[in-house]
Amino acid sequence: MSQIRHAPVAPTSTQFRDGGDTIDRHRHDDHQLIYVSSGVLAITTEHGCWIASRDRALWVPANTWHEHRFYGRSRFHTAGFPVGGGAPLLDAERPTVIAVDALVRELLIALTGTTLTRVETRHVEAVLRDRLRRVTAQPVVLPTARDRRLADACRLVEDDLRRPRTLAQLAGQVHTSERTLSRLYRDEFGMSFPQWRTRARTLTAMIMLAEGSSVTDTAHACGWATTSAFVHTFARSTGTTPGAYRAGVGTDAAP
């Protein structure tokens, strides 16, 4: 594991980042809300890989290490919340993905900008806190495996999403039984192997679309047999079509 940098205060700010930019592993003494109003951000923690985009943000509890990778030109917003200061998601002990509606989006953009006075900042933050207590969780996450056999199986699938592999084939490759591997998926991830594979394909598709890949090319690269099957699954998982998602992630990218 790479060294974890300690930055005590979680900043409240807006940055512009290019696709491919990274932020090394670090942690804060504060809670932090992370959002991109354009582009896509993959956030890795000890609990898994999370995706933040225009319609979802990530709540990172204090002292949780995290690292970032940006896909596509991104407008990156972070808001810090001191521990003990009445954090809006105080009961969230792990990173939590939340839905971002139009009001939350505008509040985050305003709060992390540079034009508000101190009094205005307090007012906007108070409204945001109240709103975040009412938002719907959107659990788009690819969890991290603890068992070595499960981790190896996941890696084989992620390395080549085009290739259809059965659970029995994977089990043979990681030197365990199909029954054991199936149990590991359910015990560690709370989902079946096909459900996990769909999640892995969907998150990879989100990144590819943010980088400008076409819907058809993304569908084939991520292992869907047809574009229509991809569109149906993506919409069911994310609440929007791949085309609409691809168009949306590029909005507001210019400084």
Determine contact, residues 138/53, Cβ cutoff 8 Å: no
Answer yes or no: is pLDDT of 84 > 50: yes
Predicted local distance difference test score (pLDDT) of residue 250: 60
Enumerate residues 6+ apart whose C-beta is below 8 A from 57.
33, 34, 35, 97, 98, 100, 104, 108
Confidence at 2, pLDDT banded by 50, 70, 90: low
pLDDT for the residue numbered 218: 96
Amino acid at the residue 109: I
| Class of the CATH domain delimited by 5-132 | mainly beta
Instruction: Say if residue 208's pLDDT is above 60.
Output: yes
Do residues 93 and 61 make contact, with C-beta atoms less than 8 angstroms apart?
yes
- Which tokens is 194 given? 């096909």
> 108: which strand partners?
none
- In this prediction, residues 65-82 reach a mean pLDDT of 92
Residues belonging to the chain: 255
pLDDT (average), residues 171-177:
96
**CB-based burial label for 143 (10 Å; 0-12, 13-18, 19+):** middle
Q: What is the pLDDT of residues 176-199, one digit of tens each?
A: 999 999 999 999 999 999 999 999
* Whole-number Å distance between alpha carbons of 204 and 109: 26
pLDDT higher for 51 or 181?
181
Residue ranges of domains in the chain: 5-132, 145-248
Q: How far apart are CA 29 and CA 80, in angstroms?
A: 10
Residue 53: which of 253, 254, 195 has the closest Cα?
A: 253
The stretch 53-61 carries a mean pLDDT of 87
Residue 53 gets which letter from DSSP? B
Are 50 and 140 a contacting pair, CB within 8 Å? yes
Record: fold of 145-248: Arc Repressor Mutant, subunit A (1.10.10)
